[in-house]
Structure 1
C-alpha cells in the first residue's frame, strides 16, 4: 500500500512538472513524451539520473569485469562508463601489456613460471581507515588463477599482482581489514597446498582450504608477501569473507559450503557434486582471530613453510584459541559485518532465511569455552542458536547484503525471486521489496559495506538481461540496475547494459574522496611512481648503438615524434624510451610500429619503454595512435630495418643509370652545393669553437677530436670524386660526394654538441631562478617547438623579451593563457606562418617567472647561441 501511494505521489509531481513545462511556448517536453510513449514517472526517473554536460557524478563505482579480467569504472547516478582498467588481461587502448613497463606488472602474475594472460575478476575492495573508505587503493581478486591485484586510485592503473603460492582457486577475495593492515583472500575449491600430485581418495588428508592474510602497506599501496601468512582450514570449500570492525576488530569471518567434503565422480557412477555437496542441513562459518594469528606467525615454530610461504596449521590456531566454527544456513554466499561490527548477516542460497549473528554472543561463547562440539579436524564448534541474534524469512535465494545509514536497515538480494528486499536486521522485519530483471547476484550500495554507509542508491548486479535490451545475438550483456532508496520505498530508475565479461561485484565511493592526477611529473614511470630511467626532454632525443642493442630516446608532443627516422639492422634488439612532453590535461599520445605488436599509451608527463627485436626486414611506419591535434596524421615516422648480410642496390644508382650526361652533371652540381652549404655550417661552428678557446675545456676538446676524426676522412673522398669527374665518370663522382655528405653530417652532429657544451662552459652563471626556468622550459615541452638560436617549428626566443612593449609581462601572459591572445595581430601572424598554435602547458605563475629569468639569461648570452 505504501509503495503504491509513493508512486502515486511521484506521478502527481510528474504531472505538475509536465503542466509547468507544457505551459511554455514550445511544449517540447509533452511532444517528446508523446512521441516516445513516456509516462510522467519515466520523466521523473530520467531526470534523477541525467547529468547535463560538464556535470559530474556524486559516486564512482568500481565493478569487476568477470571473465574480461578487468575493472569497469562508472558514475552514479548517471550510470555512464568512465574507464576500463586493465588488471589481469592485456588492455590495448592503454597499452597495458604491450609496453615494457606494464608488461612487467602483468608478468608479476605468472604462476609456476607460466604466463597467465586472462583472469576472472570477482570482488573489488577499497582501502580503509577506521573502517571508512580512504580513496587510495583498490584491490581485486582473480578467481580462476588465485591472485590479488592492487590498483592505484591516483591514476587508476594496476601497480602490483601477487599470486597466491598455496591456493589453486580463489573466490573469497579481496577484503581489507579496517585500517588496511591486511587483505583477506580465501581459497574456494579445496586442493593440496603444495604443487604435487595427490589422489582424490586422499582428499580429507591432503586437500585443504584456507585464508591468506596479505600484509598491506597503505602508504605505498603494495602487498608485502614476506610479511603475509595463510591460515590452514579444513577442506571445506571456503567462500566469501569480511573483516570485523568496532567491537569485532581483529577478527575475520569466512563462510563455506561442502562441509560434507564430497568429491563427486559422475564419470565413475557417483552422484554429481551438486547432490553430494548439499545434503547437510548447515555449513560452517569460520571465525578466526587474525590479529592473534599474525603475531603467532612471526615465530617460525608456529608455521610451516610451503612454497616459500608461511602457513599457520589448524592445530596451532586451535591451541591458541584463534579458530572456531559456527553452523550457518546451507550453501551460504557471503558474510557481511554491519557498520558497528556487532552483527554479521549470512544468507544461504538454499534457505529462505537471513541469519543475523551477534558478535557479543559469539565472543562470550569463546571466552567461556562453551563449545557444542568439534569438527573432524578438532576445531571447536559454537552453538548456532546461542550465536544468533535471530533469523528472518526474506524470500527465495537470499545472497548478499548492503547496509544503510539508518540504524538496523539493510538491503539483500534475492536471486531466485529476482528482488531486492529492504529489512531491519535488529527488529527482524521486512520493510520493502523491489523487482529487478533478472536473477540478481551481488548488489552495491554507496559505501554500503563500510563503517559509514551513505544510502541514496543501490545497484542490482543482475546475472540475466533476457529481454531488457536490443538483441545482439545469443550472448547478452549483463544488466546493472540503479535503484533510488532515498524515499520510504525503493524505486528502480534505470538499466545499464554491461557488455564486458560478467561483472560479479561492485563497490561505490563518494567521488569527493578520489583525488587522481591529471598529469604526471615530467618523466614519470607510471607503474613505479618514480622518474623513469628513459626520461627524455626536448633536445635530448638520440639513437645510441651498442653492438646489436639499439636504444632510442624519443619525445612526443603536438604534433611530432622525435626522432622521425630510425634505421636498425635485422636482428637488433630495439629499446625505445618515449616521453610525452605535454603538460596540458587530457593530451595523451599513443605510439605503435606497424607489424611489431607493440603499443604505448602515454599520458602527459609519462615516460614508458617499448622493447622488441627487429626480426623482420622492411620499412615500418610508426605514428601517434591518439587523435591529439589537427596535425595528428603528420605525427609519424619510419623505422627502417635492413639486413646487414644483404647487398642492396642503391635506388639512386638505378636512377642515375637512366639519366643523360646533362642530368648527371646537374645532380652532381646539386650534391656539391649541398655539401658546400653543410661545410659552411661546420666552419661557422669551428670558428665559434676556436674563438672561444675550446681547447681549454677537456670535455669539449674530446668532442672536437671526435668531429675531426670524421672530417679528416673527407679529403680522401673528395680526391676520388674529383678524379672520377675528371675521368668522365659523373655517376661515380656523385657517389663519392654522397659519401662526403654523410661524413659532414656526422661531423656537424658532434661539432654542434661540442658547441652546446662549450656554451655551457663560458656563458654567465645562471641564477637559481634561471636554472629552474630552464628545467620548466624543458619539462614543459617548450623545446619541442622552440630551439634557442634558430627558427624551428616555432620562432627563436632569443631576444623575445625585447620584441614587445612591456615584454616580460607580454611573454608571461602568453605562457599562462595563450588562447586569450590568439587574435593578437602579432600572434596571429606567427600562427599563420608556422601553422601551429601555442598550446596551454598549464605552467604555474612561479614556473612562468622562472622561465622569464631563463629567457633573460639567454639574452645575456645571445652571442653564444
Structure 2
C-alpha cells in the first residue's frame, strides 16, 4: 500500500513535491484511503476536482433549473454550486418577486392577463461575438409558458422577460446567432397562432409550428419586440435549433418530430401519440435563411400581424428561397453545427445512427434547385442522401452533441440515452473512438464552450435524468446527477458525481471564468433591474417619511448595523412604500429587508436601491429587520412599523418608571467609551501605517478593501461632532450613544482593514516552502488558532519569535506540542498558565505535523516585521 501511495503522490504532484508530501503526511493519506475504502483512482479524481478555499475554477456552468424555473450556477472542475438565479419563478432569498423592481420583471411574463409564477427552464445560451461566447448576456426559454428571459452577466440578475404572442409552448429556445443579432425560439407542440378555439380535426389546416426570431440589442442586453418576427411552419412539432456559423452563417436549422401530423386520441380508441408520432422512418430538418427572412419583414406585403407580432407565411418564405426541408432520423432531439459551420450533426432517439450533413452539399442543392419533392405545404424537400456527409452507428438512443477542442480532426461527443453512455467519435472520418458509462439515462451534454466556434475541450458534463443508487436516499423523489468527465486524454475518465437538488435540469452551457467580469458593488442608488439610478435613491441624511393622502413613502438607508428610520407610524389602509438603499461600499456586505407579516422581502447588495410596497391592512406593531447576518449587531438592525386605526381611540398604557443613570455614572460611561474608541483608533492607525509602508496601492484587491475601510472611517467625524455637541449641551446620555456609533464605524473599519493587512502580508511575505505551508494548515486545522494569533497576544502568547525563547528551541517546541503535560511545571510554561489561566491541551499532532509547524514558525520569524 505504501508503494502505491508513493506512486500516487508522484503522479499527482511530481517527484520532488511528492517526496515532501510523503514525509509530511506520515501515512495519513494511506489511513484515509483505507478507512474510506478509496482506490488510487478515487484519490486522483478527488485531486483533479479539488479546489481549495479561496481557489478558483476554470469554467462556470449555467444550468437550467427545469421545473424550478431558475438557473443554477456552478464551477468546473470543483462542481461547487455557486448560485441559484430567479428567472420565471419567485426566489425569496434574493427578493425576486417580492420587491417592486423584480416584481415588474416577473410580471412582464404574464400571459393574456394571467399572472404566471412558475416556469420550466430548458436551454440557456450565452451571447456571442463571431460565434464565440462573449460573457455578456444569457438567454433562456420557458417551455411551459412560451417565454424568453434575458440575464445580465454583469450581476447575474434577470432583466427582461418576453412572452411569445403566438406560440403555446416552446422547447427550441434559446439560441443566439453568431453576433447576437437574433435569438431563435422554436415552438414545440403545434397549436393555432391566434387565441381562438379550433377543433383538433382542423389540425393540418389551422394548427401551426414556427420559429420566432427575437431581435436582440447586445449593447443594452434587451430584446426589441417590435423588430422581431415569426416564421410560420407546418405542425411538425419543431424541436431544438442551432444557428449556422462560418460557412453557414445567416442560416438556421431546426429539427422536428411528428412529420406524420398525428393527433392522438386514446379516449376514442386511437393509438397514443407516441405510436402515431413515430410511424415514419424520418422526420424533417428545417433549413432557413434568417438573414433573408429579416429583409423580407421590411415590406408589409411579406408578413401578416398576429397578436401584435409579424408573421411570415410559409408561402412567402418558399417563394423567396428561404425555407427548405431535409429528411432526418426519426424522432430527432437536437441539431448541432460544427465550429466552422460546414457540418451539421443530427441524432434520432429512435435510430442508432448519428447523421452528419454537409453544408456545401446542401448549399449546392439549393443553388441548383435540385429538390426531391415538396411537403403538403409546398416546402421544397432536399434529398437526405445527397445532403449527407455520412452516418455512424453510435448505440441506442443517441441525443445531443458537443464538439471537442480538436474539432478540426472531427472530435465530437454524443449522449446515448438508452445505453447510458457518452460516446466520443470522429464526425469527419465517421468512426467511434471511445465510450464511457454514465449513471443513468443521460440527456444533454455540456462541453466547455462546446457549441461555440471555439470549443475548449478538457471536460464534458453528462446531465443524467436518473440517479437511482448514486446518492444517499432522500425519499421517492431522487436528485438529478451531473457527472464530470475528463476528456483531456485518449480515454474518457469519469471524475465526479454531483447531486442536483432541484427541478430537472435539461441543458447547461459553459464559459471560461476569464471571460466573466461581474461587478462586486453597484453605483450608489442603482435600480439593479434597469441599471439606472433609482428614483428612490437615498443617501445618509436624506432619510424621511413622506405622506400624501393614503400613500406613505419611506426613504430609508441600511448600513451596518442600523436601518434609518427606525420607527414608522401609518394608518390602517395606507399604501406603504419603502425605498431602501444599501450604503455599504464593502464587498459582500449585503443587507436584506422584510416587514413581519406583510410578505415582502428585498435583497440589497452594496449600492443597490430596491423597494417594497404593500397595503397596511393589518393593525398592530410589526418589526422590520435586516434578513442578512451582516455584523455582530445584526439582531439590533431593526425597526418598527406601527399601524394604527384612525377610527379608534387609543388609551395609553401606564409608563413604567425606569431607573436612569446619575450624572456621575453617565460621565464615567462616556469617559470609558471615549477611551475604548481611542484605543481602537490606535489599532486602526497601526494597520494604516503597515498598509502604507508596504505600498498597498500596488495590489488592486488590497486597495479595494482599503477604500472600503476608509469609507467607513470617513463617517466618524460627523458622529464626533454630534457627540461633542451633546456634551456641550449637557446631554451625556446622547453623547454616549453617538460615541457608541463611532465605535461601530471603527469596528467596521478595523474589520476590513485587518482583512486588507492579512491579504497584503501574503503578497509581500517570502514564499512558503511546501513544509511551511503544510505547517500553517496543521496550525489552523489543529485548533492552534483558538488561543494563538500570530503577531498579537490573544488567549495565549504570541508565537512570533517562539523559536528564540528557549535553548534548543526547535526541539523544545516539538516536545511541548507532542506532550504539553510534560512541561506544565517548567517555570516559563507555569508563568504562562498563571497569566492566561489556560493550559496548553494535547492536540494529538503527528511528528510530521509538528515538524511542519516548526517550519511554519521559521517562516513567521522570517517575516516577523509583517505581523
Q: Tell me the number of residue pairs that the alignment of Structure 1 and Structure 2 aligns.
A: 688
Q: Distance in 2 between matches of 1:842 and 1:287?
A: 61
Aligned partners of 1:490, 1:21: CA distance in 2, in Å?
28
Tell me the residue number matched to 1:790.
721
In structure 2, the gaps of 5 or more residues are 1-6, 661-706, 728-737, 754-867
1:535 to 524, 534, 537: 537
State yes or no: 1:839 paired with 2:756.
no
Contact 1:15 1:40 in 2 (8 A): no
- Which residue in 2 is equivalent to 1:143? 143
Residue 767 of structure 2 aligns with which residue?
none
Q: 2:522 maps to what in 1?
A: 520
CA drift of 1:537 comes to 0.3
Q: 1:841 to 1:84 in 2, by over 3 A?
A: farther
Task: Return the match for 2:613 from 611, 621, 638.
Answer: 611
- Conserved in 1, the CA contact under 8 Å of 2:371 and 2:383? yes
3-state SS of paired residue (1:839): helix
- Quickly say closer, same or farther: Cα 1:99–1:14, change in 2 above 3 A: closer
Number of the residue aligned with 1:389? 389
Query: 1:526, 1:335 → 2: CA distance?
Result: 36
Sort the Cα spacing of 1:782 and 1:622 in 2 relative to 1 into closer, same or farther, 3 A: farther
TM-superposed CA distance for 1:24, in Å, is: 4.1
How far does residue 195 in structure 1 lie from its aligned partner after superposition?
0.3
Q: Is the 8 A contact 1:786 1:797 kept in 2?
A: no
Aligned to 2:811: none
Deviation at 1:15, TM superposition (A): 12
Q: Alignment partner of 2:746: what SS? A: coil
1:150-187 deviations in Å (ceiling 9; x for gaps): 00000000000000000000000000000000000000
CA distance, structure 2, for counterparts of residue 564 and residue 832 of structure 1: 15
**Residue in 1 aligned with 2:244?**
244
- Report 1:22-171 matches (<5 A): 22-24=22-24, 26-171=26-171
8 Å CA contact 2:712, 2:749 repeated in 1: no
Q: Does the aligned pair in 2 maintain the 1:777–1:783 contact within 8 Å?
A: no
Q: Work out whether residues 106 and 161 of structure 1, in 8 Å CA contact, stay in contact via their aligned partners in 2.
A: yes
In structure 2, do the counterparts of structure 1 residues 632 and 562 end up closer, same or farther at CA, with 3 Å as the change threshold?
Answer: same
Structure 1 partner of 2:624? 622
- Aligned-residue offset at 1:298: 1.5
After superposition, what is the alpha-carbon deviation per residue over 1:599-635, rounded to whole angstroms, capped at 9, x for unaligned?
0000000001111100000000010000000000000
- Deviation (angstroms), 1:842: 12
CA contact (8 A) 1:457 1:483 kept: yes
1:791 Cα deviation after fit: 2.8
How far apart are residue 789 of structure 1 and its match?
7.3
- Residue in 2 aligned with 1:589? 591
What's 1:757 paired with? none
Distance 1:181 1:74 in 2: 28
- Paired with 2:469 and 2:725, the residues of 1 have a C-alpha distance of 64
Structure 1's 778 and 490: CA in aligned 2 closer, same or farther, altered over 3 A? closer
SS at the partner of 2:60?
strand
**Partner residue, 2:569:** 567
Displacement, 1:784?
6.5
Q: Quick check: 2:425–2:434 contact (8 Å CA) kept in 1?
A: yes
Residue 787 (structure 1) shift: 3.1
Local SS of the residue matching 2:78: coil
Cα distance change on mapping 1:348 and 1:11 into 2, 3 Å: farther
User: Which structure 2 residues correspond to residues 658-669 of structure 1 after superposition, within 5 A?
Assistant: none
CA drift at 1:43: 0.6
1:534 Cα deviation after fit: 0.2
Change (3 A) 1:616 1:466: same
Does the CA contact (< 8 Å) of 2:583 and 2:606 recur in 1?
A: yes
Residue 219 of structure 2: aligned partner: 219
Cα distance change of structure 1 residues 602 and 561 upon mapping to structure 2, 3 Å threshold: same
Alpha-carbon RMSD: 2.6
Q: Give, in angstroms, the shift of residue 783 of structure 1.
A: 8.2
Change in Cα spacing, 1:317 to 1:835, as seen in structure 2 (3 Å) is closer
Q: Give the conservation status (yes or no) of the 8 Å contact 2:130–2:179.
A: yes
Find the residue that maps to 1:433 and give its secondary structure. Answer: strand
- Is the alpha carbon distance of 1:103 and 1:213 closer, same or farther for their aligned partners in structure 2, counting shifts above 3 Å? same
Matches of 1:831 and 1:114 in 2, distance apart? Answer: 52
Residues 709 and 752 in structure 2, CA contact (< 8 A), matched pair in contact too = no
Using the TM superposition, give the Cα deviation of residue 405 of structure 1 relative to its aligned residue in structure 2, in angstroms. Answer: 1.6
Structure 1 residue 12: deviation in Å? 8.9
> Counterparts in 2 of 1:471-510, with a 5 A limit?
471-510=473-512
Cα distance change, pair 193–580 in 1 and its aligned pair in 2 (3 A): same
CA distance in 1 between counterparts of 2:476 and 2:230 reads 42
1:191 matched residue in structure 2: 191
Shift of the 15–612 alpha-carbon distance from structure 1 to 2, 3 Å rule, reads closer
Q: Distance in 1 between matches of 2:612 and 2:750?
A: 26
In structure 2, the residue matched to 1:175 is 175
Q: Which of 407, 412, 415 is 1:410 aligned to?
A: 412
CA contact (8 A) 1:538 1:782 kept: no
The separation in 2 between residues aligned to 1:15 and 1:179, in whole angstroms, is: 42
Please list the CA deviations of residues 354-387 of structure 1 after superposition, one character each: whole Å capped at 9, or x if unmatched. 0000000000000000000000000000000000
Distance 1:66 1:833 in 2: 49
TM-score (norm 1): 0.77
Q: Give the structure with higher Rg (CA).
A: 1
2:364 corresponding residue in structure 1: 364
SS at match of 1:651: coil
**1:839, distance to aligned residue in structure 2 (A):** 3.0
Tell me how far 1:837 sits from its aligned partner: 2.6
- The residue number in structure 1 matching 2:460 is 458
The question of whether the paired residues in 1 share the 8 Å contact of 2:716 and 2:742 is answered with no
Change (3 A) 1:550 1:56: same
Distance 2:464 2:20 in 1: 37
TM-score normalized with structure 2 length: 0.77
Pairwise CA distance, 1:650: 1.6
Q: Work out the CA distance in 2 between the residues paired with 1:164 and 1:779.
A: 50
Decide whether the 8 Å contact of 2:715 with 2:745 is kept in 1: no
Looking at structure 2, the residues matched to 128 and 831 of structure 1 have their Cα atoms a distance apart, in angstroms, of 53
Q: CA deviation at 1:796?
A: 8.6
Matches within 5 A, 1:268-417: 268-406=268-406, 407=408, 408-417=410-419
Contact 1:441–1:461 (8 Å) recurs in 2 = yes
The 2-side partners of 1:100 and 1:573 are apart by 13
Q: Is the 8 A contact 1:538 1:778 kept in 2?
A: no
**Structure 1 176/187 Cα, relative in aligned 2: closer, same or farther at 3 Å?**
same
> How many angstroms apart in 2 are the aligned matches of 1:443 and 1:554?
47
Separation of aligned partners in 1, 2:157 and 2:335: 29
**1:64-93 Cα distance to aligned partner (Å, 9 max, x none):** 000000000000000000000000000000
Query: Deviation of residue 27 (structure 1)?
Result: 1.6
Contact 1:64 1:71 in 2 (8 A): yes
Which of 430, 433, 439 does residue 431 from structure 1 map onto? 433
Sort the Cα spacing of 1:832 and 1:261 in 2 relative to 1 into closer, same or farther, 3 A: closer
Question: Which residue of the partner structure matches residue 634 of structure 1?
Answer: 636
The whole-number CA distance in structure 2 between the counterparts of 1:257 and 1:462 is 22
Residue 11 of structure 1 contacts residue 41 of structure 1 at CA under 8 Å; is this kept in 2? no
Deviation at 1:21, TM superposition (A): 4.1
Residues 198 and 10 (structure 1), Cα distance of their counterparts in 2 relative to 1, 3 Å cut: farther
Instruction: Find the aligned partners of 2:52 and 2:22 in 1 and give their Cα distance.
Output: 21
- Superposition deviation, residue 13 in structure 1: 3.5
Q: Distance in 1 between matches of 2:508 and 2:744?
A: 48
In structure 2, relative to structure 1, the CA distance for the partners of 1:777 and 1:262 (3 Å cut) is: closer
CA distance in 2, matches of 1:779, 1:216: 42
Return the offset for 1:647: 1.0
CA deviation profile, 1:690-727 (whole Å, cap 9, x unmatched): xxxxxxxxxxxxxxxxxxxxxxxxxxxxxxxxxxxxxx
Alpha-carbon spacing, 1:796–1:56, altered in 2? closer, same or farther (3 Å) = farther
Pairing 1:750-765 to 2, within 5 Å after superposition = none
